A and B are shown apart, each in its own frame.
Chain A
Amino acid sequence: MNDKMLMRGSHVIGEAAVRAGCRFYAGYPITPQNELTEYMAGAMARLEDGTFIQAESELAAVNMVIGAAMAGARAMTSSSSPGVSLKQEGISYLAAQELPAVIVNTMRGGPGLGNIAPSQGDYFQATRGGGHGDYRTIVLAPASGQELADITRKAFDYADTYRTPVMILGDGMIGQMMEPVVFPEPLDLKKLPPKPWILDGAKGRPSRIIRSLLLDVSVEEDQNWKLVRKYEQITREIPAAEKYLTDDARLVVVAYGTAARIAKGAIKRMRDIGLKVGLLRPITLWPFPNRILVEMSRWVRHFLVYEMSTGQMVEDVRLGLEGRSQVHFYGRPGGVVSTPEELSKVINTLYHRQNLQEE
């Protein structure tokens, strides 16, 4: 079944998760991600060894995922912003207990109950931990149907490889958009690398403990440094970004997910009228693709960060560049999605104000 299919983004994640060997899903309804929960209900019911649970809360869902991960399953939960706030307790424990799991956040307008329109207001929460303690979460930001399929597979692989929670950060637009997609072949579960740490009863071996309580401060410190070394390895191994028309660009827009789609439209318009503008689209938000940014700063003096928020990723761009180039920001929060025309005007104005046009 490798034909091209036209599918809604949320369904793509679900189908890709099943093909990646996800056999446990627990979730709680919240718009705009119900399509994923519903898809998993159907998909797990069709599998002999699949489990779907509509949990009583997001807290319960993520804790069920903790149990499933301890027992060795590829496990996933999903939600939207207010629900992901509740999942943060579990995400902190997953990181501390070094358990693999995939968490999908289909962001909506906030803070508070906000609205159900696409937004990027959860960037800080996703990339800065969100839960308590000294940990990082791998955060992947897909921008198209095909990428959703590919990234979901990767999310499960990263989770297992590094024994850490992985978040797929999308929004209502990406979740609802129908696009053609080709799925990877389903993984043979038997061929996945063994997990010699899981809890499945101590038959023929010493009993095991999965925990995060380390009362001795020096033991907790050692564990924290061990996690840091793992995070450093992840930072070396997985940063990814898409570059679009950046080779000769004088101004590069930095945007992810839905915002990057809009930015691409604006950049095409700008190119049509002769402005040398390009796009840098981070695909991993943590680890942030700093190296690519720094490389680009050799010829790009101006970056314009565009977000569907009041400015969150812009801080990572500034940190990454460490003053090498100028960083400008444009964003609209609350679930407002800018049009490419609107963004074109912003780019055009900035381009001319900074005298970037050809002499």
Chain B
Amino acid sequence: MSQMAHAGKKPLLWDYLTTVDHKKIAILYLWSGLFFFVLGGIEALLIRIQLMFPGNTFLVGKTYNEIMTLHGTTMIFFVAMPLVFGLMNAVIPLQIGARDVAFPFLNALGFWLFFFGATLTYVSLFTGSAPESGWTGYFPLSDNNYTGHGLSYYAIGLQISGAGTLIGGINFLATILNMRAPGMTLMRMPMFAWTTLVSSTLILFAFPPLTVGLFLMIFDRLFGSHFFDPAFGGNVVIWEHLFWVFGHPEVYLLVLPAFGIFSEVIPTFSKKRLFGYHSMVFATMLIAFLGFMVWVHHMFTVGLGPVANAIFAIATTTIAVPTGIKIFNWLATMWGGKIRFTSANLFALGFIPTFVMGGVTGVMLALPPADLQFHDSYFVVAHFHYVLVGGVVFGIFAGLYYWWPKIFGRLLNETLGKLHFWFFLIGFHLTFLIQHYLGLWGMQRRIYTYLPGQGFELGNLISTIGAFLMAIGVLFFVANIAVTFRKGAVAGNDPWDGRTLEWTLPSPVPEYNFLRLPLVRGLDAFWIEKQAGNKEMLPAEPLGDIHMPNASFLPFLMSLGLFIAGLGFIFKDQYNPAFLYVGIGGLAITLLTMFLRSVIDDHGHHIHHEEVESMEGGASLS
């Protein structure tokens, strides 16, 4: 008897702790990401409450810095990354016609590393000192003289979760390159698969510099090295380089998948194929390449000299070209289409003007003489929220409304979805549009208060009101999830009249994804079959047993070991040197589980086709 018959009997918690199924891992990523989104959102509201009136004393000094730092760190690393990863995990194998990802075990490991890294960062809140030098962790602000232990939590927490991201990136690269269904050439892949591929390449090259930067930070803070300590010959600008060599590509590796989502949503709800597919693919690669060439635009004010500044300014502004190509392609896709204004599509449509505004201020910032004025003012805050929220978060919401039925089998409520969208969109522009002006009027970034009569009162008040409108929007989303689970409409295979392979499968998708791998005959594979009058894909293989990976508890244990190690090393400094042994013990757990992984043979198991046939009702199979 196969494992499968037992699967239903596993207790839910154990099932999720040991799962290697990409669809369940997607759900883990989504729930954790949404949880941290609520946390990060609460932090944002706290920040905005403090800045609502001049001279406010709600949240001052160190506490303000901590909340502000946690907000930024959380939103980038523990919200945007896992939600994007969640959607990729839910969709990519389905879109390319694969039974699984290339490395199911590593997929689980990637998730647990992210999860324990994020948790470790938040442990700081309960031990007296959270990170406080901004999400960029600049030195010398981040060294032991100026900060409490919070920065050590930040460094080790991000190190652990960053390892998870790198593993995830490699996994998606190998999956997309190696596991595509017969006929699915690269140029027949859906755009979301393309952007995932390119974005994973960015992860591959952008995360190692962060890893190194964080190691050096950890060594400086916990083990007495002097990389960033000028008194011993260290150099703080090295941190800035390492951070931004990672940091700038990071924003593209977040926004490219969002672009991919829009490229799925807009054609589906316009009932047209994506305009300019080839140029979209090319633009994606160009953006990724240029994304690596521009990190110094974050350092124009450091004093690297006019030549460096000029080169990086030009490189930065050229990114506007491929991005513009994409915008025009989306517009052309809608042109003359039969547009349906579903919640998913509303987020896609709201994204276009919002992101364009963010891009325009980006080009403004890319001019060094102008940046010398704008730098570290609220203008920058407005800019990056226009791209991060208007691009990435809108993309995530569009993706969630679009694929929710595929993931959970039920459709999110459209009325609540529209309320969510309008509150969020209006709240967003109310919050951030005015911040451009606040910046131009002289309000600095990362300050916790301002004086009455400086002319900042009205702007800040408006901004805070907007933030609360956004929060109401998110509440509608939370309510929507609750309502959907209780009495959401059952989705069926293909609720949107979709174009790509995931819509050929039942919702939710069975654990083996495809009973028989589909034969792909062109771009928008499912649409092609529908046009030809077929209800489903032609199979590319006869019915047979399906090979599946085994569940495993080791990924959880491996990550737990690193979590314990991290705590031990930080506590060594914070409380008692004897905690060093806890740290070493944690590493030993991880090494031991790695050892177990390599000595225990794991050939996976098979699902027998008779069993599958009885499950799928047999009839549709013959």
Asked if A pairs with B, the answer is no
* B interface residue numbers (CB < 8 A to A): none
